[in-house]
Structure 1
Amino acid sequence: MREAQIQLRVMCSNDDEYVSEEDVWVLYKDREEWADVTPLTQDDGPNAVVKIAYTDAFTDVYDYFRAVVASGEMSERALELTEDAINMNAANYTVWQYRRKILKHLGSDLKKELAFCREMIEMNPKNYQVWHHRRVIVDWLKDASKELRLTEMIFSQDAKNYHAWEYRQWVLRTFKLFDGELDYVDRLLEEDVRNNSAWNQRHFTITQTTGFTPDVIQREVHYVKKAIEKVVNNESPWSYLRGVVQHCDGRMGSVGDLENWCRQMYEGGQRSPYLLTFIIDLMEDKMEHEPDLRPSVLKHCLQICICLATEHDQIRQEYWRYIGRNLSHRFGA
C-alpha cells in the first residue's frame, strides 16, 4: 500500500498532537497530475431518502473514479486510483472489476497483484469481492502454488471462514491438488472435532476423489463413530454420518453395525437429541425394508418423538409432533 494510505496518523513536531489521515491526505482535486480530469459526482436523484454522510476523502476518490470509468481511461494512475477506492470500500464490485480491466490492458505484473490481494484478504478476510479477485488473478496465472497455504493461514485465525473454504475448494478442484487434503482435514478435526466446515470439506474431498465406495463408506463410518464417542452432543459428525450412509445401497443400520451401536448408547442412558434423531432415521429405514416389524418399530419411534418434543429438543416440539404424525400416517396399520 502506498505511503499516503498507510500513514494513519502523523506526530506533529510542535505540540505532540495527532492529526488524522484525512489531514495529511491530498485530495485528488488538489493533485496537479489529475488536473485534466473533471470529477463526476454521485447522482442520488432530486429526493434522496437517506443521504450517506461520506467523508471528503471518500467523496473525492469516488468522484474521480466515476470520471475515469466514464472516460474509459486505463492507465497506471487509474490503477492507483482503484487501489485508493478499494481501501475505502473493499466491497465495491465495480472498482474490482475495473481494476481487472486495467491490469489486463496494461499487462501488469500479476505476481505483484497477488501480493496486494493477499494484503486485502488479511484486512478483509470475509469479503467476497477480494476472494473473487484473487481467484481471477490465479486463473490468469495458472499457478496455485501458494493458494492452499494462504487459506490455511486464514483458517488459523477463523477455521470457519466460508469464503476461504469456497476458494480452497475451487483451487483443489481446478488444479487437482487433492493429495494430502484428507490428512489436512484430519488435523483440523483433531484440533476441533466441532469444526463443521472441516466435516463438510471431508465430504467434499471424498466426493471429488474416490467417491463413497463400499470400502470408503465403512472406513468413514468407523472414523465418524470415534469422533461422536468423544463428544456425543456435537451435531457436525452426526450430520456427516447421515451424509455418508445415504450413499449405501442396503440398510442404513447394517453399515458399520450402526443399529447396535446406537442401541448400546441409548440403553446406556445417552439421550443426545442428535442420537435420538439418528435413531429415528434408522427406524424409518427399517420400516421401509422390513414391513413385518413396523408395529413394534413404529411404537418405539413415536416414543422417541415424544421424548424429543417434551424433554430433549423442546424448541422444535411442533416439528417432532409433525414427524410423529407423518410416520404414523405412512407406517401405521
Structure 2
Amino acid sequence: MGSNDSEYFSDEEEAWVMYKDRSEWADITPLPQNDGPNPVVRIAYSDTFTDVYDYFRAVVAKGELSERALQLTEDALHMNTANYTVWQYRRKCLAHLGSDLEKELVFCREMIELNPKNYQVWHHRRVIVEWNGHADKELRLTEIIFSQDAKNYHAWEHRQWVLRTYRLYDGELEYVNRLLEEDVRNNSAWNQRYFVIVQTTGYTQDVIKQEVEYTKKAIEKVVNNESPWSYLRGVLQHSEKGLHSVEGLESWCMALHEAGNNSPFLMAFLIDLAEDTMECHIEEREEKLAKVLEWCESLATEHDKIRREFWRYMARHISHKYSV
C-alpha cells in the first residue's frame, strides 16, 4: 500500500469508484505489475493502489497524454508521492496539454505541505517554475515550510536555487537575521548567511570585520554553539591573514575562556589561533605550544571526552610539528 493511500481515500471512501468500474476507462485494459515468477518479497498492495497503478502502467504503455491521464497521475501521486516515474509522466501530460501552470503550482504546494521532505515534489516544483518563467511565490513557500521545520534541506536548496536563478537577494540577509534572532542555533540559517554574502557583496575586508562582530555577539549569547564558530572560520578563510585578520579576536576568545567558558568549540578555535601564531612567529612557539597541549588534554579528559583520541592525536601531531 502507498504511504498516503488510506489517508487520501478515507474522507471519500463512499464516493471513490475503482478505475476498473469507471465507464470512461472501459477502453483501457489494466496492466498488472510484473514481479517475475519468484519475487523476493511480495508487497501486499491495497486494492485501490493496485487498481490505480495498473491503469497508470497501461496509460504509459499506450503513451496517452490526456486530461484523464493527468488526473490519474494525481491519484497515483497521492498514494505514493515518491514515485518519480509518475511525476515525469505528469510533466509530459502538462506539456502536451498546455495546462494551466498556476493551477499546477497550487497542486504542487499542497503536495509539498503534505510531503515537505520529498525530493520528487520539490524537483517538480522547480521544473514548473522554470516553465512558468517567474518565481514570485517561491520565497514565501519556503518560509511557510521553515515555520514547520527550520532545517528542511529540500526547502533550503529550493530557496537558494530561486535566489541564484532569479537574483532575488534583496532583503534576504534581513530574513536570515530574523531567523537567527529566533534561534541562534539554526545552522541552516548560518549556512544561508554565508551563501548570501558570497553571492552578493563577497567577503571584502570590511565585510569580514562586520561579520566577525556579528558572529561574536551571537557566540556571546550561547558560547557552546557550534554553528557560529564554524561560520567564523568560514568568514576568516577569505582573508589573507586567516584567523588573525581581525584585530582583537584572539584576546576576545581568551577573555571568554578565562571567564570560565570551556566550550570545546571555543577551545578548538583557540588551538587553531595558536597554530597560526606558531606557524608565523617562531619566537612564540614554546609558550603557545604549552597552551595548546594543555587545552588538548583538557578537551580529552573533561570537555570533549567523546573525541578523546582525536585530541590526543592532535596533541602529538602539533607537538611533533612545533617542538622547539
Aligned Cα RMSD in Å? 1.3
CA contact (8 A) 2:300 2:309 kept: yes
Matched, 1:168 2:159: yes
CA distance in 1, matches of 2:11, 2:103: 26
CA contact (8 A) 2:112 2:122 kept: yes
Shift of 1:102: 0.7
CA contact (8 A) 2:299 2:305 kept: yes
Pair 1:157–1:213, CA change in 2 (3 A) = same
Q: 1:72 aligns with which of 63, 68, 71?
A: 63
CA distance in 1, matches of 2:118, 2:140: 19
SS of 2:243's equivalent in the other structure is: coil
* Higher RCO, 1 vs 2 (CA within 8 Å, ≥6 residues apart): 2
Residue 46 of structure 2: aligned partner: 55
The CA deviation string for residues 251-276 of structure 1, in whole angstroms up to 9 with x for no partner, is 41341421000111112221111100
CA distance in 1, matches of 2:242, 2:195: 24
How many residue pairs were aligned? 318
Residue 95 of structure 1: aligned partner: 86
SS of 1:252's equivalent in the other structure is: helix
Give TM-score scaled by structure 1 length. 0.93
Shift of 1:8: 2.5
Q: 1:82 aligns with which of 73, 76, 98?
A: 73
Moved over 6 A (4+): none
Matched, 1:9 2:11: yes
CA contact (8 A) 1:90 1:130 kept: yes
Which structure 1 segments of 5+ residues have no match? 11-20
CA distance in 1, matches of 2:58, 2:156: 37
The CA deviation string for residues 15-72 of structure 1, in whole angstroms up to 9 with x for no partner, is xxxxxx3x54211111111111111111111111111111110111111111111111
Residue 15 of structure 1: aligned partner: none
CA distance in 2, matches of 1:251, 1:176: 30
CA distance in 2, matches of 1:151, 1:73: 34
Residue 127 of structure 1: aligned partner: 118
Residue 330 of structure 1: aligned partner: 321
Residue 17 of structure 1: aligned partner: none
Matched, 1:236 2:238: no
Which structure 2 segments of 5+ residues have no match? 1-6
Give TM-score scaled by structure 2 length. 0.95
CA contact (8 A) 1:251 1:286 kept: no
CA distance in 1, matches of 2:192, 2:65: 40
CA distance in 2, matches of 1:88, 1:175: 33
Give 1:162-311 correspondences, 5 Å limit: 162-311=153-302
The CA deviation string for residues 188-240 of structure 1, in whole angstroms up to 9 with x for no partner, is 11111111110000000001111111000000000000000011111111111
Q: Specify the code of the residue in structure 2 equivalent to 1:168.
A: R
Residue 39 of structure 1: aligned partner: 30
SS of 1:255's equivalent in the other structure is: coil
Matched, 1:146 2:148: no
Shift of 1:134: 0.5
Pair 1:108–1:76, CA change in 2 (3 A) = same
Shift of 1:287: 1.4
Of all paired residues, the percent bearing the same amino acid is 69
Residue 321 of structure 1: aligned partner: 312
Q: Specify the code of the residue in structure 1 equivalent to 2:99.
A: S
